[in-house]
Chain A
Amino acid sequence: MAIRRLELLASPLESMFFALTAEEPIDPSHPAELVDRIVALT
């Protein structure tokens, strides 16, 4: 298996900031939902 791209989307503090300030706040203990929302923005 080859990795073609591995790119940082959000550091822990960036994720936390996003979770706290999103239009609809996200529980940071649910990483899948959090990452999905971050991906949607990027």
Chain B
Amino acid sequence: MAAVRASGVVKRFESTCALDRVDLVVAPGEVRGLLGPNGAGKTTLLRILLGLVRPDAGSVELFDRPPAQAPALARVAGFVEEPSFYPYLSGRANLELLAELDRGAGAPIERVLERVGLASRAVDRLAGYSSGMRQRLAIAAALLGDPRLLLLDEPTAGLDPAGVREVGGLIRELAADGVAVVLSSHQISEVQDVCDTFTIVRRGRAVWDGTVAALRAQAPASAFALETSDDAHALALAARTPGVRGDASGRGLTLTAERGRLDAYRSRSDTPAWRSAGSSCWPARSSRCSSR
């Protein structure tokens, strides 16, 4: 039984077609990234899955039932856009309030706080929480209903790298327990290590659907901006280095280098001038280059 089975979903807002025949299938234990630029239709699709908006055409089933049926949504939780809490209440008090509004059904609050790693900060006011802690609290709120499907809108938005890792780790733990997760993002780099599969949407249409590994297999080499003391020499060196391509344009030099090939290029350009320049040549992001 699929956690999500959506077929040919269409949603229009006046003259704008927000979703145009989108298909989506998510299995239990799968983490599906719903990716696209802002305005691509990601949040609209999540709203439809949450039963907040009705599609104009197509079909949606959650655990083989339409979202409008209570038994289907009882196993579904999540948030769209930025989750909001009472900043003057503690994390625990916020969850208690939500549980009361939800008639207290579901998982014990202590267990949920423990699950998201907030047990030790549960009595602190929300105003003192970091962005990552707020996102984890939002996931805790979603877990109150002990869901089997989580729908998370931009759960890593605004987080620093440590926060992205925290939330990603939590999502992987939930998936390991069989929870299906659909998360949206406009930053593929933030979710590439969390997701099993991607659906990429552009202007309301799904333009790619499949595993992260399959997308990686189709992807071009990494692209780099390059500044040198001798651009002609740099291009000639690229032409002589297997797996490396150099291009010059009005905007400067660029390299595309297959995984592991950049080191060969760097070592061949390792002139005395290069060595004397030392690490100041390398901007912060370049530390990622050789590992990709």
Task: Return chain B residues, CB-CB under 8 Å to A36.
Answer: 247, 249, 251, 254
CA gap between A12 and B234 in the complex, in Å: 22
Known: A6-B286, A12-B220. A20 touches B225 (CB 8 A): no
Return A18 CB to nearest CB of chain B, in Å: 9
CA gap between A39 and B254 in the complex, in Å: 9
Known: A11-B292, A13-B219, A28-B218. A21 touches B192 (CB 8 A): no
Chain A interface size band reads 20 to 34
Task: Return chain B residues, CB-CB under 8 Å to A7.
Answer: 224-225, 283, 285-286
B103 interface residue (CB < 8 Å to A): no
Task: Return chain B residues, CB-CB under 8 Å to A10.
Answer: 222-223
Contact B219 A9 (CB under 8 A): no
When C-beta atoms are compared, the residue in chain B nearest to A34 turns out to be: B220
Known: A1-B274, A5-B281, A6-B281. A12 touches B216 (CB 8 A): yes
Task: Return chain A residues, CB-CB under 8 Å to B219.
Answer: 12-13, 15-16, 28
Return A11 CB to nearest CB of chain B, in Å: 5
Interface centre among A14, A21, A38, A42 (most CB of B within 10 A): A21
Taking CB atoms and an 8 Å cut-off, the chain A residues in 8-36 that contact chain B are 8-17, 19-21, 25, 28-29, 31-32, 34-36
Contact B222 A15 (CB under 8 A): yes
When C-beta atoms are compared, the residue in chain B nearest to A10 turns out to be: B223
Interface of B, helix, strand, loop or mixed by DSSP: mixed
CA gap between A31 and B228 in the complex, in Å: 21
Return B275 CB to nearest CB of chain A, in Å: 9
Return A37 CB to nearest CB of chain B, in Å: 10
Task: Return chain A residues, CB-CB under 8 Å to B227.
Answer: 3-6
**List of 9 A-B pairs having minimum Cβ-Cβ separation, nearest first:** A12-B219, A2-B273, A5-B227, A16-B219, A1-B233, A2-B229, A1-B230, A4-B227, A17-B188
Using a CB–CB cutoff of 8 Å, the interface residues on chain B facing chain A are 35-37, 40, 188-189, 192, 200-202, 207-208, 212, 215-216, 218-230, 233-234, 237, 245, 247, 249, 251-252, 254-256, 259, 262, 266, 269, 271, 273-274, 276-277, 281-283, 285-286, 288-289, 292
| 14 A-B residue pairs with CB within 8 Å | A1-B271, A3-B234, A3-B269, A5-B283, A6-B224, A6-B227, A6-B282, A7-B286, A8-B286, A9-B223, A17-B35, A21-B202, A25-B207, A36-B254
